[in-house]
Amino acid sequence: MSRYTALANSIGREMKNAQHLDDTLELKGLISQLNERDNEIKLFAEKASNEIKEHGKVLDDTKGALELLSKGGIEINARLLEVEQKLARRFSANDPVDLKSIGEQFTEHEGFNDLVAKGRGIARMNLKAVTSITSATTGTGGVGAAIQPTRVPGIIAGPDRPFTIRDLIMPGRTGSNAIEFVQESGFQNMAGPVAETALKPQSDLSFELKTTTVKTLAHWFLASKQVLADVPLLQSYINGRAIYGLKYVEEAQLLAGDGTGQNLLGLIPQATAFEETLRKAGDTKIDILRRAILQVRVAEYRASGIALNPVDWADIELQKDEQGRYIWVNVVEGGQPRMWKLPVVDSTAVPEGEFLVGAFDIAAQVFDREDAAVEVSTEDGDNFRKNMVTIRAEERVGLAVYRPESFVHGSFEGP
């Protein structure tokens, strides 16, 4: 064998050896770890035996150490099996150890031998073309089925609207399907100074019994038992979205429900209309809101909050003075959502271009008959036969508006 042949064969052997050298070293390391673990288990087993004789049981520290060693051994054994299978595949019929490298094939080719014998000329060797390996899932060379996509954990959710209107209103609970309350319907105040022995004036006071009914908000989803079992995250995600769906509708009902059918009668339909005589020429949205607060105050109530559409709130924050400076907030730090000392709630449940100002804390109350809850059942239609489950979310809620005159609703634009 010439020195060229020996050199090429040496290169080919090194290429083969490099393929499994790392796996062989890892295999030896895993075996060494297992031996160390076995020695530690032996020591702790003797310690446990002595503790049983002395205390009648294995102490917690020893028991915990044995459990950790056992868990570690399981992980090492799993990795050991993986490496052994990899090496076995490498030396199997599909990947034989005596597979000749390109260098070995070339040195054994007759063209190369002729070149060595003659000392001149050109040696050529034709190799079978290898099909390009692509990500296709079919066809020669396609390995797409072996390429696993990266799965981003969790589920990308849609936007969540923050719910804030309920936080402004008095909370309450009820055990019935209706709420009754007595509302003052008239008050003629005739109180005044009276001379000694003179007849005192009479005032008139009338009342009216009001009733508001509890309404049910609900919806449901259909899912297979298999997918809920295979994707543990999915059921909790569906439950969360189910509750969100209820709260989304609840806020719209509390603000703008028209009271027909199964709708709540919301705050806006019961509010007092904005007094147009208060409007002045050149009023901005900020001015209009202050005049609405005034209207509530003239009615002998004190406003506790403002509800706006996000578009209108953005218009207010973007107002500038004659020099182009923002008059409401520092654009770097932002500002608290407050106006005229009152908290501002921006909600898409408020129609764009409109506002609601009122004494939320005393003029209305939300009654919960049944808190929002999620229930899962197979006893629905043919669910049992189809391995399906029905997921239902439901709540029962009522709204009582005690003082409609303490709410003022209107439009920023004049009639």
Alpha carbon 318 to its chain's center: 31
The pLDDT value recorded for residue 88 is 57
> Rounded mean pLDDT of 54-74?
71
Q: Is 290 exposed, middle or buried (0-12, 13-18, 19+ CB in 10 A)?
A: middle
**In sequence order, what are the beta bridge partners of 358?**
305, 407
Q: Of 218-222, 253-257, 326-330, which has the strongest mean pLDDT?
A: 253-257
Please give the Cα distance from 170 to 366 (Å, whole number).
6
The pLDDT value recorded for residue 165 is 81
The pLDDT value recorded for residue 410 is 92
Q: Helix 310-317 crosses helix 285-298 at what angle (to 10 degrees)?
A: 110
Nearest C-alpha neighbor of 346 from the set 317, 320, 372: 317
Between 190 and 107, name the one with better pLDDT. Answer: 190
Q: Of 97-101, 255-259, 327-331, which has the strongest mean pLDDT?
A: 255-259
Angle (CA) 180-183-187 rounded to 5° is 165
Report residue 10 as tokens.
């040496």
Please give the Cα distance from 114 to 380 (Å, whole number).
84
pLDDT in tens, 270-323: 999 999 989 888 888 999 999 999 999 988 889 989 999 999 998 988 888 888
- What DSSP string runs through 255-285? HH-B-STT--B-HHHHSEEP-GGG--TT--H
The pLDDT value recorded for residue 160 is 57
For the cut 50, the answer to whether the pLDDT of residue 135 exceeds it is no
- Beta strand pairing status for 204-213 and 305-308? unpaired
DSSP 134: B
Between 89 and 395, name the one with better pLDDT. Answer: 395
For the cut 60, the answer to whether the pLDDT of residue 99 exceeds it is no
Q: Are 257 and 265 in contact (CB under 8 A)?
A: yes
For the cut 70, the answer to whether the pLDDT of residue 167 exceeds it is yes
Q: For residue 191, give Cα distances in angstroms to 40, 115, 168, 226.
A: 95, 130, 35, 75
The CATH fold assigned to 165-411 is Major capsid protein gp5 fold (3.30.2400)
The pLDDT value recorded for residue 408 is 93
Q: Could you tell me the sign of the dihedral formed by the alpha carbons of 158, 164, 167, 170, in that order?
A: negative
pLDDT in tens, 338-351: 888 888 888 888 99
> Rounded mean pLDDT of 390-411?
88
Please give the Cα distance from 257 to 251 (Å, whole number).
9
Please give the Cα distance from 151 to 98 (Å, whole number).
39
Please give the Cα distance from 399 to 250 (Å, whole number).
11
> Rounded mean pLDDT of 177-196?
77
The pLDDT value recorded for residue 97 is 46
- What DSSP string runs through 213-269? E-EEEEEEEEEEHHHHHH-HHHHHHHHHHHHHHHHHHHHHHHHH-B-STT--B-HHH
Angle (CA) 78-82-87 rounded to 5° is 150
The pLDDT value recorded for residue 293 is 93
The pLDDT value recorded for residue 118 is 54
Q: For residue 304, give Cα distances in angstroms to 61, 123, 346.
A: 60, 95, 15
The pLDDT value recorded for residue 292 is 93
Q: Are 201 and 224 in contact (CB under 8 A)?
A: no
CB atoms < 10 A from the CB of 211, how many?
A: 9
Residue spans per domain, the chain: 3-108, 165-411
Q: Could you tell me the sign of the dihedral formed by the alpha carbons of 115, 119, 122, 127, in that order?
A: positive
The pLDDT value recorded for residue 198 is 86
